[in-house]
Amino acid sequence: MQREMKGALIGLICGIIWIMLGFWQLILILLLSAIGFLIGRYSERLPELKRWLLQVLER
């Protein structure tokens, strides 16, 4: 749960920075927060994800 919150916080911070630059506000914050959440959630499975990604890219 700790990594998920860190990832969501990173996404939120990135979203705020993008908003300050003038992009769509709510949609961008939600998108970046979701991406950060997913990165934090799956960071524990990184070796499995890396192995799967290598298999997909080798085809």
Q: pLDDT by residue (tens digit) across 11-20?
A: 788 777 777 7
- Tell me the per-residue pLDDT of 14-44, one tens digit each, with 9 for 90 and over: 777 777 776 666 667 778 778 877 777 776 6
The candidate with the shortest Cα–Cα distance to 35, out of 1, 4, 58, is 4
pTM beyond cutoff 0.75: no
Domains of the chain: total: 1
Other Cβ atoms less than 10 A from the Cβ of 15: the count is 22
**Predicted pLDDT at 23:** 64
**Predicted pLDDT at 25:** 65
Read off the pLDDT of each residue in 46-52 and give the average, rounded to a whole number: 76
Other Cβ atoms less than 10 A from the Cβ of 33: the count is 19
Q: Which domain holds residue 51?
A: 2-58
Specify the DSSP element, H or E, that contains 23.
Answer: none
Specify the DSSP element, H or E, that contains 1.
Answer: none
